Structures are given as structure tokens and as C-alpha cells.
Amino acid sequence: MGRWTLSLSGWKALFSGFDWRSFYRSKTAVISFAVILALILAGAACSIPNKTVVLQVDGKVSQVKTFCSTVGDLIKAQKVPLKKGDEVTPPLEEKLKENMKIVVNHALNVTLIADGKTSKFMSCRSTVGDVLKERGLNLSGKDIVYPSTDQRLKEGIKIRVVRVSVKEKVEEAPVYPRVLRETDPNLANGLMRVVKAGKNGIEKRIWQITYHDGQEFRRLLISSSVSRSAVDRVVAVGTATQVSRGGMNIHFSRALDVVASAYTYTGRNTSCGTAPGFGTVAVDPSVIPFGSKLYIEGYGYGTALDRGSSIVGNRIDVFMDSYSQAMLWGIRQVRVYIL
């Protein structure tokens, strides 16, 4: 509202014909007139903005012309809501001055996850970084903050601080030897013989390990060096396909060493559907295919016709005609030739 004035002639016109003598004789009328005049003058003065101030609410800045006398009056006039925890600078009772800056920061709900703890509170700070300073959380150059420290606060924001540390760790790892193979015509095909055992070497490794909140996040191999070289392992690989047993030459495709047990007739046929008899051999078909003709040292000739739940890998079960013969055989290491 702008300034208004009343000229002398206007005043005269306003009160022309007024019975001033009667008016002054009435005490009540004089008092009433004084009150009305004071109200008119006060209203005229209050309708004239006499100060310009800067109002900043949650980072938003505006210039306000006002006739209010205190910071609190201005906040009410501008309809800025306040609740417990909000910050107003200067205080509400502070008298307004020309070009004064009034800052209002509303308190926001914040969840902070840091150092293994979760805390919920209200803050009037402007940015994530300001909140961390307010809470006394010091950051190292490697620590990670989600969202970033320059992110402005918003209602319900979740802030997470990840503590990052980097350490070096020295480890010793085995260096496995190479396996060198050489043929041996005196050894059955399928068999191997260790000529030289070999020995593991030692490699020294230096790792750079990055931890996030105490948990390993990443490791990087910085350097490695061999402190002890490995000694090669040498094995002989058999190539012979003929062996002499009992004055007879046995020709075979390959040989293998197995653990052999014995069983006798239980009233059930073999896995191939035939009745078992001497020469029936239970095998693991993934090692010795069904139907394979065999020569078993200490037993003689046989055929892979059966299988058993405990016959796995390099194991076989040879059929005996009686329980006593099976018990006499027992369990033994034998060499099997697959013909």
C-alpha cells in the first residue's frame, strides 16, 4: 500500500461546519477523537514498508519489503511454518534492520549409517557434509559417503559412511612342479611309475587389500617372486600290451591296479540279467565297461557283467562258488588286464 496524505484544505473540508465548541465541552468526545486519530496515524505508518530484508528459507533466497518490527513478526507475515527443532537466525525476538538477512532452516529427518551403528535424528544442516560435521564424524581421504557430501539434505534422507582402509599382506603360495612323462616299454599300458617325486616350490606374493567397513572388498597383486624353485616330477608311462603269466602270453589293451573283494551267489541275477558264476566280475562301468574281457592276477579270466553299490572307481568284486572261498579271498590289491 502506498503513502497517502491529506492537504490542509482537505482537513478544512473534512471538519467544516463542525461544532467545535460543543465538541470540546464533551470530555468523552475528546478522548474518542484522540483514539481515532492515533489509530489513523498508526495505520498510515504501518501501511508504508519501511525496511528491506533478505529472507532465506531452506536455501531459497528472496528479498522482502516489510513494516514488521521483529524477525518473528516477519516469519509470521511471510507464513513460514516453524516446528520444534527448526533454526532461525537471528533469533525471533531480534529487531529488524535494513538489509538484514534472516535464515530459516527446517529440521529434516535423517538416517545415518556409520561405524556399525544406525542412528535417526533431525537436522537443520544444508548438506550431507554439514550433517557429518555436526555429528562429529571425521572422514579419511579414502572413506566413501553415499550420497556425496555436497548433496543437499531432503526429508527422510539416508546417509551411509563406508570406512575404507588399505593394507598390504605377504603370503607364500606353492609352486607346483611340472610333470614330465617318459615312456617305459617294460611297463603295462595304462600304468604309470614315478621316476622322480618332484617337489613344490615357494612363491612370495605381496597383496594390496582394500577393506570396506572391515570386510575385504578387493585385493590386488602388487608383486610376486619365487623364493624356492619347484623340482620337476618325472613319471614313466607304460606302453607294453603283452604280459607273460603261467607260461602264457596275455595280450591286453590296458592295465590298471584295483582293490578286489569277493562275493558269492545271493539268488539274484547280475546287472546284465545273467546268472552269476565263476568268472563273473562286478565293476564300475565308468572305469571298466560292461562286457569287457578281463584277466585278473590271482583269479584268472573273467567278464565284467555285474555292478555293486560299493564298487566305485578302481574297485572290483569277483564271484566265488562258495562263501568260504569268498572269505578266503578277502580284500586285496590286484592288477587287472583289460583284454
Alpha carbons 149 and 139: distance in angstroms, whole number: 11
Q: 209 and 171, same structural domain?
A: yes
- The parent domain of residue 301 ranges over 241-338
**Which letter, b or e, does each residue of 285-301 get, where b requires 16 or more Cβ atoms within 10 Å of its Cβ?**
eebbeeebebbbbebee
Q: Is 3 inside a domain boundary?
A: no
pLDDT score of 21: 55
Return the C-alpha cell found at 42: 498508526
Return the C-alpha cell found at 5: 496524505
Which domain-ending residue is among 67, 84, 105?
A: 105
Q: Considering the entire predicted model, what is its pTM?
A: 0.55
Closest to 259 in 3D by CA, of 338, 330, 187, 337: 330
pLDDT score of 44: 45
Q: 86 and 28, same structural domain?
A: no
pLDDT score of 178: 93
The alpha carbon of 235 is separated from its chain's Cα centroid by a whole number of angstroms, namely: 47
Rounded mean pLDDT of 274-283? Answer: 90
Q: Is 121 inside a domain boundary?
A: yes
Q: 59 and 14, same structural domain?
A: no
Closest to 339 in 3D by CA, of 235, 245, 204, 203: 245
Closest to 241 in 3D by CA, of 256, 253, 227: 253
CATH code, domain with 334: 2.40.40.10
Write the pLDDT tens digit of every residue in 146-163: 999 999 999 999 999 999
pLDDT score of 297: 92
Report whether pLDDT(202) > 90. yes
Q: Is the dihedral of CA 238, 244, 245, 248 positive or negative?
A: positive
Report whether pLDDT(2) > 70. no
Counted domains in the chain: 5
Rounded mean pLDDT of 263-280? Answer: 86
pLDDT score of 294: 93
Q: Is 30 inside a domain boundary?
A: yes
Q: Is 94 inside a domain boundary?
A: yes
CB 92 within 8 A of CB 72: yes
pLDDT score of 6: 44
CATH code, domain with 174: 2.20.230.10
Q: Is 271 inside a domain boundary?
A: yes
pLDDT score of 289: 92
Burial degree of 248 (CB within 10 A; 0-12, 13-18, 19+):
exposed
